[in-house]
Structure 1
């Protein structure tokens, strides 16, 4: 029998909402009646840290802002405590792209040293045969577009997954959304700043085919409005790397620096 591949691919529809922390708490109570907690969530959720790569001209940023039907971005992502990251820590190198209304995510799991060798060092690390095509695509992107680390984001996530008829459904709640524009090593002891107000939560509904009626009814009953918000774009704009767009979440009441939990 072959060992499971470390290459993963996902196709799905994604819908985002920007809600108050109080609204998110009530929404989570209702969601928990129908969905199971992600096995990694626990009571406190889990941390997600991502380093995004872009061109000097911020090509991927502008593709998102302009709403191109085909757009993509490259990132290195870590789940968990970033202060525990070392060369051997498993991370994901991901290409996330949008084709019309469908979000496609392809990623490979690598030791952090190999992810840096590929994306920063621009050299092919050792890999499994099943990983080769994807890693060649990443290397081609990095070399051809001269990609470089541009912005970092971090947040605490509570996630729920569907069961029975709702298999494939996933609902996430992201809070304490932070970022920085330098010191891009995932384990760096660097300060992060809130890039979304502390009183706001990004709720995301992810479905393979369709969103169940009970969930669309729930969002309608609570008058939730679909929001075109990108954590990467929010970080870029928060640090003045690009002018603030019409999609920028206002930053009044932001704390300049957020202590790590």
Structure 2
């Protein structure tokens, strides 16, 4: 895996974003891709056809983080370890991200650091202390406190093939991702274990995420409406938990069975940016 992925992840150590998720039929992805390419650039670290992303989620024995999402708490968070690249090629020295992703009202916040895989496992699974720069110490202490005080343990993985587009000109800060063949498993958590996965979203559907620092441009939500891509509240982590029977299915946690009807984008007005944007 090109080190560019890891360098990008390291630079994005902490950031806030609005995230809006959609389902799209895979048959419509070529049209979506063409429309996005006309207004956005491909992520320079995203090869043709996309790149694999695999995440291992940690939670309590009674799935505290899962239920915080299902119940729609305005402040909620989760701890995960993320690998960019082919999981079959993951070794002890492969860089991974240890991340806290949290939601404060409608804003998504992420903080993370990059570590060699073996070191990250010793930290999260073996409860070993790790050395870090002074600037990273508050984050490391927070993760260690969550893992130790809540007795976090691996629960499920998720994986998918991601295509990524980044905004240009007036749309700097906009990022759109398309995630294909979303799958997961509930055991054999080593990234390179080769264990069997299960689709946790029907493979005919891809998950599209619009991520913006401040406002989502109107042309983007207009595009989702034209392709009948209504907003969904879907969590890959919750889908994986439910797919393996670890918790009851929920209306909020499993909307993938029915594609939302109608052309209403469902995006709150205060997240829309209606200023016309040049495509040149």
Among 60, 65, 82, the residue aligned to 1:60: 65
Q: Call closer, same or farther: CA 1:160–1:133 in 2, change over 3 Å.
A: same
Structure 1 residue 228 corresponds to structure 2 residue 213: no
Q: Does structure 2 conserve the Cα–Cα contact (< 8 Å) formed by 1:6 and 1:131?
A: no
Q: Call closer, same or farther: CA 1:216–1:122 in 2, change over 3 Å.
A: same
Q: Does structure 2 conserve the Cα–Cα contact (< 8 Å) formed by 1:19 and 1:224?
A: yes
TM-score, structure 2 normalization: 0.86
Q: Does structure 1 conserve the Cα–Cα contact (< 8 Å) formed by 2:157 and 2:186?
A: yes
Query: Could you say what secondary structure the match of 2:66 adopts?
Result: helix
Q: Does structure 2 conserve the Cα–Cα contact (< 8 Å) formed by 1:179 and 1:192?
A: yes
2:153 equivalent in structure 1: 148
Among 6, 14, 23, the residue aligned to 1:9: 14
Q: Distance in 2 between matches of 1:223 and 1:156?
A: 22
Structure 1 residue 238 corresponds to structure 2 residue 247: no
1:256 equivalent in structure 2: none
Of Structure 1 and Structure 2, the greater helix share is in 2
Among 250, 253, 259, the residue aligned to 2:257: 250
Q: Does structure 2 conserve the Cα–Cα contact (< 8 Å) formed by 1:118 and 1:124?
A: yes
Q: Distance in 1 between matches of 2:98 and 2:60?
A: 17
Q: Does structure 1 conserve the Cα–Cα contact (< 8 Å) formed by 2:55 and 2:82?
A: yes
How do 1:154-173 residues align onto structure 2 when only pairs under 5 Å count? 154-173=159-178
1:129 equivalent in structure 2: 134
Query: Could you say what secondary structure the match of 1:32 adopts?
Result: helix
Among 71, 77, 92, the residue aligned to 1:72: 77
Query: Could you say what secondary structure the match of 1:23 adopts?
Result: helix
Gaps of 5+ in 1: 252-261
1:254 equivalent in structure 2: none
Query: Could you say what secondary structure the match of 2:257 adopts?
Result: coil
Among 213, 216, 219, the residue aligned to 2:224: 219
Q: Distance in 2 between matches of 1:235 and 1:98?
A: 19
Q: Distance in 2 between matches of 1:79 and 1:41?
A: 11
Q: Does structure 2 conserve the Cα–Cα contact (< 8 Å) formed by 1:5 and 1:130?
A: no
Among 179, 192, 200, the residue aligned to 2:197: 192
Instruction: Please report how far the alpha carbon of residue 220 of structure 1 lies from its aligned counterpart in structure 2 after TM superposition.
Output: 2.5
Gaps of 5+ in 2: 1-7, 259-280
Q: Distance in 2 between matches of 1:30 and 1:182?
A: 39
2:208 equivalent in structure 1: 203
2:27 equivalent in structure 1: 22
Query: Could you say what secondary structure the match of 1:72 adopts?
Result: strand
1:51 equivalent in structure 2: 56
Instruction: Please report how far the alpha carbon of residue 127 of structure 1 lies from its aligned counterpart in structure 2 after TM superposition.
Output: 1.9
2:277 equivalent in structure 1: none
